[in-house]
Amino acid sequence: MRRNLYYHDSRFTFHISQTMHIGEFQKLIEDIYLEKDSSRGIEKSFLWLVEEIGELAEAIREGDKEQQKVEFGDCLAWLVTIASMAGINMEEASSIYHRGCPKCKDIPCRCKEKKK
């Protein structure tokens, strides 16, 4: 993930892009939203996540890449803030995939798809 930083002086805006790990993203989202999100509560925040997923579905259906980018970002931010409220570290949560598929342990996954 890349983080875009902007620094301003009287004449210019400087744009700096740096790689960001999921834990750093979680910390950033906590700094921006945790106080506000915690006062709303985890259940109401979860409903916002579901609403954002609906908006992502619409952006995918419409094929608008710029809108998809916004909605993927929004969904990730909501997911991460809910994890923070639940006391879950997303760096640790995502680490179950570090060695490949958690079930078959392979990269790529070789698990058989279940028939629905």
Residue nearer to Zn ion on the CB measure, 28 or 109: 109
Q: How far apart, in whole angstroms, are the C-alpha atoms of residue 113 and residue 115?
A: 6
Give the shortest CB-98-to-Zn ion separation in angstroms: 14
| Residues between 84 and 113 that touch Zn ion (CB under 5 A) | 101, 103-104, 109, 111
Residue nearer to Zn ion on the CB measure, 103 or 114: 103
Query: How is residue 85 written in tokens?
Result: 């409220």
> Cβ–Cβ contacts within 10 Å for residue 45, how many?
19
Give the shortest CB-106-to-Zn ion separation in angstroms: 6
Give the shortest CB-53-to-Zn ion separation in angstroms: 24
Q: Is 32 in the site for Zn ion (CB under 5 A)?
A: no
Cβ atoms of 59 and 75 closer than 8 Å: no
> In 3-state terms, the chain is what percent helix, strand and coil (to 5)?
60, 10, 30
Interacting residue ranges for Zn ion, rule: CB under 5 A:
101, 103-104, 109, 111
